[in-house]
Each structure stands twice: as C-alpha cells, then as structure tokens.
Structure 1
Amino acid sequence: MLEVSRRQAEQESQRKTRLITVASHDLRQPLNIISLILENLTSNGLPEQQAGLVSRLKISVTHFNNLLASVLDISRLQEGMITPEARKLSALEVMQQIAETCTDQAQRQGVELAIETTQQPAGVMADPQLLHRVLQNLVVNALDHSNATRITLGSSLSGQQLVFEVTDNGKGIDQSMLARIFDPFYRNGRRDDPGLGLGLAIVRELTGLMSGHCEVTSQPGQGACFRVSLPAASAPPMPVPHQARGNDHKPHNHYLVVVEDHHEARHWVCQTLTSWGYRVMGFATAEQAVAQWPDQPDTILVSDIHLPGMSGHCLLDTLLARSSLTGAILITANTAHIQGYDSAQRLWLLHKPLVPMRLRAAILHLTHSTD
C-alpha cells in the first residue's frame, strides 16, 4: 500500500509539473504577441488619445505578466520544481539587467529607476535566474505599491555577504505591517492595488533557496529599503561594455534572421525589428533558415528555442560551426532556461513575453560588443 501511495504521489507530482510547464508556454505566447503589437502601435505615431490607450494597455499587459509569473513561481516552489544552480555573478551586471527589464514600466509610471554603487566591482554566488526574479519582484513591488518617484538599486559588501538594496522614496510601510510583509497573500495597500500578495513571499523563498536572507526597513512617509543578502564571491570578468560609437551603429547594416514556428508571433517580431530599421528575414523552421541563411557578415539570429525539427539550440550550434553569425538571441516561454548573456557564445537568452526595450538592448549589445 505504501508503494502504491508513493507511485500515485509521484504521478500526481509529474502531472502538476506538466500542467505548470504547459500553462507557462500557452499563456505566455499570446502575451508575447500582444506586447509586440502594442510596440508597433506605439511606433506609428498615434494621436494623443489613442497613444494614451496604448500606454494603459501596456501597463495592463505588464501587470498580467507579473501576476502570471507570480502564480507560476509559487506553483513551482510548492511542487519542489526549483533547484538553484549557483555560480559567480557580477553584482553590477545583475543590476544592469534588472534596470533593462524594468525601465519601460518605470518610465510609463513616471518613476526614475537608478543604479547606485560606489564600491569596486563585486561578485555574488547565486543562481542567475532566481536572483533576477528576486530583484525584479522587489522593483516591481516598489513600482506597484510605494507611490515613489525614485527607486534605486544598489549593492555593497558586508563581511562575507553581498547585499543588494532596493530603495524607494515612497509612502513607506507601517511598523505593524513589517512583520508580515513577506507572508504569502499579504497585501500592504488598498484593495484595488495590483498583485496577489505573492511577490515578496517568492522573494523570501527564492532567497532562502540560495542560502541568503531578506529584510526590510521602513518608516511611514520615508520610503522603504528592501535588502537581500547572499554569499559574496570574487567578481567574474565583466564583458567588454558596448558603446555607442558616434554613428557607427546603423540598423540597416545588420541582417536579423527570425526563426519562429508560430506565424503571428513571427510576423510581429519581424514587424518590430523592421520598424527599428533592421533588414529582416523570417523563417518557420530552423532547416529553412540554414538553407537560406544570408551571405552577410553582420547577421544576428533571433530564434525561438522550441521549434519543429531542429531546435533553436541546435540551430545556433550549426551556425556557430559555420561561423555564419555575429551573435544570437534565443527566446523561450520556459522560464526554467536561464535568462541572460553568454559571452562565450555571444548569446542572449530572453523570456516571453518579450520586453521590446530589452530585445532592442540585446541587439545593440551584440552589434556593438567586441567580446
């Protein structure tokens, strides 16, 4: 009976795991298309009233994406699906990626988002995807609930710990609420405030998985400061920073090859890249892309990972073996893949739904980088 119960429990766990994975992909795909359509609407110079509606839609899509991410994160935590893979990370690079992810939302809300660090380059031992999620949740929490006009990201060494700080100049938090602020489903604000009360609970859980701890200090009317402490490490080499070299970067000098089997998603990615001035080719399969790859030196691959036949990873390996590309951006709705930059392969990995500003920043990095 014990063996039968164990097997039933394993089967139920596997069923839930598959459900969470499928839900993640199937819900993120339409959000990805909506995000790209809104980017194209914005770029067309709409009248003021329509532009305002597009801006409100962007806020709603961002809000829905944050809700979806929170629900999926808490589900993965409850099912034990998250296993940290810690490695040495640059604290400054981590914060720069957070700024790239959240700047669009901050600008729409009229909030200044800044990075402040005065120390020498420092490193942290953490899982890059989990750390990104932790800091993103803290910044989004400040954007959604603090009524701040300025949010700063900072880091400092404290003994053997690297401490990240997310500080805002908002309304602050009542002392009676501080003890419960990291509890699941606890909401510090009005009933109509966005969110499910899961963001900070996820911060605590993910930080604990990485052998760290989190805390908050605040006074009403004086803003709040959330701190995440993790094991410090020697700073890894930073990628050579890209710089805008006068007029060197001209989008029409670069080919972008988009590989995406979902027709509508492919169409809107191509439309977005074309509106930015790039020459674009689109293919439904990796095999088509290999057969018709442009004979151009400055070509970048923008591909979904999950494709019929050859996968995005296999396509990248094939093109690297042929020395046929300047760099690559792989896109996926599966957040189990680590988001970030791999300098060895000149590869960015981004999650759906695409944040247009982050996609553009990744392209600029690849076209300017001299790694």
Structure 2
Amino acid sequence: MSEPGQSAPATADSPPGYADISPARRVGLLEVAFARVNYGFGAMVVVSLPFIAWYAHLGQDPLGLVLWSAWYFVGFWGVRGLYRRYQRACVQDAPEAVLRRWSPLIHGVALVYGSSMAVPPLLTAAHATFEFQLLYLVTIAAIVASNSVHASPVLSVFRCFFLSGWGSVTLLVPYTFPDHWHYVMPLALVYILTILRHSAISLRFFVQNVVLQEEGVRLAENFRRAKEQAEQALYDKNLFLTTASHDLRQPVHAMGFLVASISRSNRDPALDGALADLRQSVQSATQMFDALLDLSRIESGRVQISTEAVDLAGMIANVATLFREEARDRGLALRVRLPPGPAVVMADGTLLRQALNNLLHNALRYTRRGGILLTVRRRAGGWRCEVWDTGIGIAMRDGTDIFSPFFRNEHAWDIDSAGHGLGLAVVARCCAMMRARHGFRSREGRGSCFWIQPDAAQAAAPLVVPRSLDPPPPRMLPQWSGSCLVVDDDPLVRSAWQTLMRSWGLETTCVESGSQALRLLESGLRPDVVFCDQRLRSGENGFELLCELLGRLPDARGAMISGELDSAELAEAQEQGYLVLRKPVETAELQAVLGYWLPAPAAGSPP
C-alpha cells in the first residue's frame, strides 16, 4: 500500500486505485471509515443487551458480558472524541499531515473494535446453548457485511477490523461449537473469502466515484479558466477597438470628405471611374468599421436594452432619408411604402435602427440594377419591417449560414469583393437582444426580402416617434448659403472639412480647440452650424464645448462628431436631444442634415 501522503497515477492498463486519489479526497474517505468505526462501537452496545438478557435467562452469570458491553460503551465515547479531533484537524492541517498522523491511529481503533468481538465466545462457550452461539455468530456476520460496504472506502481499515474480528471468531469455532465445528468452520472460511471479495468491489466503486468527482472538478476548473481567458480576450479586443476607433476612423473620415469635394470639382471625365472606385472603397471601409465595432459592442455586453413603443413609420422614413443619396449614386430607386395608420411595436429603438441600417446597406451593396423597397406590413397580429431588393439573391442552402459572422456566398464575392460578411451578423445579434423574429426569402438571381418583426406594442404604451429629417430635394449638387464652424484637433480632418463645405457653398472656419472657437465668437463670428469633435487633444470635453458654443449662438444648430461607439458624453448628448454623427461621417448623411438645417441660396446668387 502507498504511503499516506503519496499518490501514483493510474496507468492506461489498470483501473484507478486508492493511491490515484488526491490527499484531500483520501482524507474524506478516511473520515467515512472512521465514522463507521465510531458508529460500530455504539452499535455493539445495543447488540450486547439482548445477549446479556438471554445469557442471564439461561441461569448464567452475565457479569463478563456486562463488562464487555461497558467496554464498548466507554470506547464509543472515547472514539467519538477522537473523531471530533480528526474533523478539526481536517480543517486546520494539510491533507498530507492529517493522513500521516491519523491513519495509523484509525487503523489501531479498527483493530480494537474488531478483536473485541471475540470476547463473548470466550466467556460463554462452555455455558451457552448452541442456539445462543449460533445467533451471536450470525449477528457478527451481519455486522461484518454492513461494514464491508461502509468501511471499505479505506480497505486497510476494514481489513484490520474484519481480520481481527471475524478472524478471531472463526479461530474460536472449534471451541464455541465443539460438536458442530466441522460444519460451521467451512462456512466461516467461505464467508471470509466472500467478504474480502465484496469489500474489494466496494472499494473500486468508491474510488471510481471519487476519481470521477475529481475529474469533474478538474474539468469545471479548466472550463472556468478557459471561460475567464476567453472573456478577458474578448474584453481586451473590445477595449482595443473602442480605444482605437477614434484614431482609426480619423483618416477614413477625412478621406471621405476629400473624395466628395474632389468629385464635385473634377472636370476630367477620365477620372470619374477612379473617383467612383475610391468613393466606393471609402464607403466599404466605413461600413466595415461600423459593422465590426457594432458587433464588438454587442458581444461585449455593453449594450443596455431599453424596450419602448416605437413608431415604425417614422423610423423607416428616417432610415430611407439617410440612404437616399447613396441609392441615387448607385443608380437605384429607393422607395418607401408605409401603412395609412400608426404601426407601433415594442423594441429597442437604437438596436432596431441599427438592424434596419445594416439591412439597407446590404441591399444597396448587392443590387446592381432595379431598386430597393422599404415597407411595413401587418403580419400575425403585429408589424413587420421588410427590405426588398432586386439584387443577386441568396441560395436557400445558405439560409443557416447567412447570419453568421464573415459568411459570404459565392455570388457576393463576384459583385462586391470589399464586403466582410458582418452586416447580417449584426442584424441577427440585434434581433436576438430585442427578442424580435427575423428571416429572409430569396430567389437566386432575382432578389431578396429580409424582414424583422418585433413584438406588438401594448395599447397603453407611450409612443416614441423617431425624429426624421425632411426628404432632400430632387437629384442636384448640394449648394447652401450660410457659415459653418468646425472644431477638430486633426489638421488633415480640418482641411477635409474646409474643402468639402466650401464646395457646397458654405463659409467654413476650422479651429483645433475650444479656446480658439470662443475667441472667434468674441471677435464677431456668428456661424449658422457648429460641428464639434468629441475627443480633443487639449483635454477639453467636446460635449461641454458644444453646449457652451450653442449657448452663445441661440440661432445656430450644432452636432457632435464622434469616433467612439458609446460613452458617457454621447449618452448625455443624445438624452438631451443633441445630434451625434459617427465617424466616418458619410457625405450623404451630412447633406441630409445640412439640407434640414440651412436654407437654399437666394435666387440670383452665384452658384
């Protein structure tokens, strides 16, 4: 047998044994065996009482049996005290120290417990009847059988008890049964072999259960560590994307403005194709940033769900306004069909708008000719938002994968190699968080219909109507009158702002800090529109600066420009009704905002 504190691993050819169990588990098994020995001392006191009474009834002096019973009674309380000390040691001492100190003692107690069972046959063999001796032998056999189940977690403890107890009783069989020992002795010997075999089987059962428990604990701990590592990796990734999003978006933001202004002033038809490709590349990069950061924000669990009654008609009109210019650039018709009455659903307005934006982005990207239809229809007692297109369509065999991140079917690569397969994954995550149903119907080569159906609104729910921009005028180059103030600490971005806004007919002043902007206001500058970057290198709070500037310009309109997904400043700005434009700002979105805020130039003014 192994030393108490040691452990040897099981091999592939042998089943796990007692030595394969950790010291802490062996301490637990030893406690089970010790508790059974303690219980056995008390049980023997109860067992002795009928035999004392029977022996006295036979007219014999029961004093020896009484002393034997008293010995077990005293032993019960003595062992009970040791058992409590053992339990305290299990809590206070290391498992190896407990095994080293207590294992020999518990084996000795088991030896005393078993050997004391041979006392009654020695005292009563010459005076008791055959029936008395036989009943005592059967009683001891029953006690031994019970111990073989409960005490065998530590087989050596059970064998100390069994061999000293039943072994002594078996050796006394010729003395106890002088006329029948040749019948009783073979049965006693067979019983020894049976119990030893049974105890070994019981030990294997205990050990296998303990090994399975340890394996379960180990797997649970490995799972916990892997889960923590995965969560930490996800947190680090999301933290990096959130922190770096501002700097990553800055050059794309400036590039989009520069491409738009160059396209406006270009007079060389040979450059039209290159500028269109460049504009498409900027849009693809913008959409990639949006989808990747949206997915990151959703997976990080930082999105707070706020379910409210949302007017689908207003939201659809708002989304269509933002994408109408892009549809025109692509030569596609963007139509909206709304129900005559209110269409109210219970949803998170931000997530629903995000999902619809991604569906419309997807429809525009994969539609070469024809158009897009946004509609709201009554379905199954609720309202369903549908986005129809006349694009390349989707094979139904891809239906289970189409909403997975980074999945794109073979035809998608042919029509647009700049996609990343994230848009529909964001739609699926948004719908899952809102508990809204979603799906699609498609005919390959003919077009698709993607739909979202949130829960129906309660009749008494307060209605939230999304603020919608006025639809832009018919297709024309934007030209407004007025002046604009831009606060941004990036010189490349300031140059892009100035170039683009001047191409649209706006007098534009760009500064890098709030102090410069305030000095210009003190010198008499009165802009009609103020755009303020959220994060300025001077450490100024972009939202506080915007509030101060608009406070000094009561007739001006303003918006925050942010490269972040969410922050306390953005949440506060949106709660107070301020417009927040996310970098990279698309020129179509900026045109829609300016068309809503600024008047058209007066008749006869220079173009």
TM-score interval, normalised by the smaller of the two chains = 0.7 to 0.9
For 2:510, which of 272, 276, 282 is the aligned residue? 282
- How far the C-alpha of 1:108 sits from its partner, in A, is 3.1
CA RMSD in angstroms comes to 3.3
Which residue among 546, 551, 566 is the counterpart of 1:336?
A: 566
Q: Say which SS state the counterpart of residue 292 (structure 1) adopts.
A: helix
Could you tell me how far 1:7 is from its partner in structure 2? 8.2
Query: What are the Cα deviations for residues 134-184 of structure 1, in whole angstroms up to 9, with x where unaligned?
Result: 112212222233445211111234466432110012343323222332233
Q: Matches of 2:436 and 2:237 in 1, distance apart?
A: 28
- Of 284, 287, 310, the residue aligned with 2:540 is 310
Q: Give deviations 1:95-145, integer Å, cap 9, x for gaps.
A: 233224333433333222221213324344433432232112212222233
User: How high is the sequence identity, in percent, across the aligned residues?
Assistant: 27
- Offset from partner CA, 1:190-211 (integer Å, 9 cap, x none): 3444323222122111111122
1:219 to 430, 443, 459: 443
- Which residue identity lines up with residue 225 of structure 1 in the other structure? C
Report the counterpart of residue 300 of structure 1 in structure 2: 529
Q: 2: CA distance between counterparts of 1:321 and 1:130?
A: 32
Partner amino acid, structure 2, of 1:333: G
Pick aligned residue for 2:255 from 27, 34, 38: 34
Superposition pairs for residues 89-238 of structure 1, below 5 Å? 89-158=310-379, 161-190=382-411, 191-192=413-414, 193-194=416-417, 195-233=419-457, 235-237=463-465
Distance verdict in 2 for CA 1:312–1:159, change over 3 Å: farther
Aligned amino acid, residue 255 of structure 1:
S
Are the equivalent residues in 1 in contact too, given 2:333–2:370 (CA < 8 A)? Answer: yes
Matched to 1:284, the amino acid is: E
Letter in 2 for 1:315: L
Instruction: Classify 1:238/1:105 alpha carbon distance in 2 versus 1 (closer, same or farther; 3 Å).
Output: closer
* CA contact 2:550–2:558 (8 Å) conserved in 1: no
TM-score scaled by length of structure 2: 0.54
1:52 deviation in Å?
1.7
Per-residue deviation, 1:331: 0.8
Greater Rg over alpha carbons, structure:
2
Q: Deviations over 1:307-360 (max 9, x none)?
A: 233322101222344453421121111122679x96964x32111111112112
2:561 aligns to what SS in structure 1? Answer: strand
CA 1:328–1:159 in structure 2 vs 1: closer, same or farther (change >3 Å)? farther
Instruction: Letter of the 1:204 partner, please give it.
Output: A
State the distance in 2 between where 1:236 and 1:196 align. Answer: 33
Mean CA deviation greater in 112-121 or 263-272: 112-121
Matched-pair contact (CA < 8 Å) for 1:148–1:171: no
Q: Choose 232-241 or 99-108, whichever is displaced more.
A: 232-241
CA distance in 2, matches of 1:166, 1:243: 19
**TM-score of the superposed pair, with normalisation by structure 1:** 0.84
1:362 equivalenced with 2:593 (yes/no): yes
Contact 1:299 1:324 in 2 (8 A): no
Residue 269 (1) aligns with residue 497 (2): yes
Q: Give structure 1 stretches of 5+ with no counterpart.
A: none
Deviations 1:253-310 (A, max 9, x none): x221111111110121122112111122211112221232274666221111112333
Return the structure number with greater relative CO, CA threshold 8 A, min gap 6.
Answer: 1
**Mapped pair 1:319 → 2:518:** no
Q: Confirm or deny: 8 A CA contact 1:160 1:231 kept in the other structure.
A: no
The gaps in structure 2 that reach 5 residues or longer are: 1-220, 600-607
Quote how far apart the aligned CAs of 1:42 are: 0.8
**Which whole-Å CA distance do the structure 2 matches of 1:242 and 1:138 have between them?**
22
2:485 equivalent to 1:257: yes
Distance 2:317 2:554 in 1: 29
Structure 1 residues 342, 119: CA separation in 2 closer, same or farther (over 3 Å shift)? farther
Change (3 A) 1:243 1:342: farther
Question: In 2, Cα distance between the equivalents of 1:111 and 1:217?
Answer: 21
Shift in Å at residue 79 of structure 1? 2.9
